[in-house]
Amino acid sequence: MASGHKYSVLLPTYNERENLPLIVWLLDKTFTENNLKYEIVVIEDNSPDGTLQVARDLQQIYGKDAIVLLPRAGKLGLGSAYRDGLKQATGEFVFLMDADLSHHVYGWDLRRKLTSRVANYLATVLLNPSVTDLTGSFRLYKRDVLEDIMQSIQGLGYVFQMEILVRARQRQYSIAEVPITFVDRIYGESKLGAGEIVAYLRGLLNLFLTT
């Protein structure tokens, strides 16, 4: 990563009060050690566990330039969280990632692994996206590219991760992959339930019919 640029990290949160201080500390450490300018945009969906207050406390510690808060009325979907967070971002490059410390170096439970493999298999068969992982949420984009792609995004839930790569390919943007291993969160529970899976399948079918 180039030291002359600023990086914006978009972190959607819902019931992440225990994970948020850890991920913020790790991000600050990484950017600071590499002499990189950064900001962390916390998109908070009215968590009942007090995540917003934790985010406010972190803002007091790290400063308003480093921690940008975006409280929302409720759970409005992962895609909409990134869309709203992008409007607050000021960096030339934008990271999309989870707030639950799941992007690490080892481990992943069987259920999550199977869910991911099935989702990626279906998307690959129907859409031929030319990438191996359509559902991963650890992404880095040029901001102007992401803003351009977001104009055509329709999915507001978990299907967003898949759709954004399909739209990027349609616009002939370059896509590169770097291997990572996804692990289970340290605290809290996954937000991926039956409703999100059904919405993903609907979004997949819609993309198949319209692209």
- Under the banding of pLDDT at 50, 70 and 90, the label for residue 113 is very low
Q: Are 175 and 131 in contact (CB under 8 A)?
A: yes
**What is the percent of the chain where pLDDT is above 70?**
66
- Distance (Å, rounded) from C-alpha 159 to C-alpha 162? 5
| CATH no. of 6-210 | 3.90.550.10
pTM: 0.74
The answer to whether residue 104 scores a pLDDT higher than 60 is no
Domain ranges for the chain, please list them. 6-210
State mean pLDDT over 21-25: 93
| 8-15 mean pLDDT | 96
Q: What is residue 117's predicted lDDT score, i.e. its pLDDT?
A: 47
Instruction: Please give the share of the chain, as a percent, with pLDDT higher than 90.
Output: 44
Sign of the dihedral defined by the CA atoms of residues 207, 196, 130, 98, in that order: positive
81: which residues sit within 8 A by CB, 6+ positions away?
Answer: 10, 12, 43, 45, 72
Residues in the chain: 211
